[in-house]
Chain A
Amino acid sequence: MDNLAIPEKIYEELIRHCREEAPYEACGILAGRGREVTVAYRMTNTDRSSVSYIMDSGEQFRVMKEMRAENLSMLAIYHSHSSSPAYPSSKDVSLAFYEDAVYIIVSLAGEEPVVKAFRINNREITETGIIIGRA
Chain B
Amino acid sequence: MAVKVRIPTPLQRLTQGKEEVEGVPGTVIALVNNLEKHYPGIAERISEGGKIRRFVNIYLNEEDIRFLKAEETVVKDGDEVSIVPAIAGGVFTVNSVSLQCH
B16, CB-defined interface residue at 8 Å: no
Q: Which of A33-47 contact B (CB under 8 A)?
A: 43, 47
Q: Which size bracket describes the interface of A in this complex?
A: 35 or more
Residues of B within 8 A of A52 (CB): 88-92
Known A52-B92, A99-B100; 17 more pairs at CB < 8 Å: A25-B90, A52-B91, A53-B88, A57-B86, A61-B59, A61-B64, A61-B84, A77-B87, A81-B91, A84-B91, A90-B93, A91-B91, A91-B92, A95-B55, A97-B86, A97-B87, A97-B99
Known contacts: A58-B64, A61-B82, A98-B9. The answer to whether A91 contacts B90 by CB under 8 A is yes
Q: How many residues of B contact A (CB 8 A)?
A: 23
Residues of A within 8 A of B99 (CB): 97
**Do the beta carbons of B88 and A54 come within 8 Å of each other?**
yes
By beta carbon, the residue of chain A nearest B45 is: A97
What mask results when residues 50 to 88 of chain B are scored 1 for a CB within 8 Å of chain A, else 0? 000001010100001000000000000000001011111
- Which residues does chain A contribute within 8 Å of B90, judged by CB atoms? 25, 47, 49, 51-53, 89, 91-92
Q: Shortest distance in angstroms between A63's beta carbon and chain B's nearest beta carbon? A: 10
- Docked Cα-Cα span, A57 to B87, in Å, equals 8
Chain A residues within an 8 Å CB radius of B92: 51-52, 91
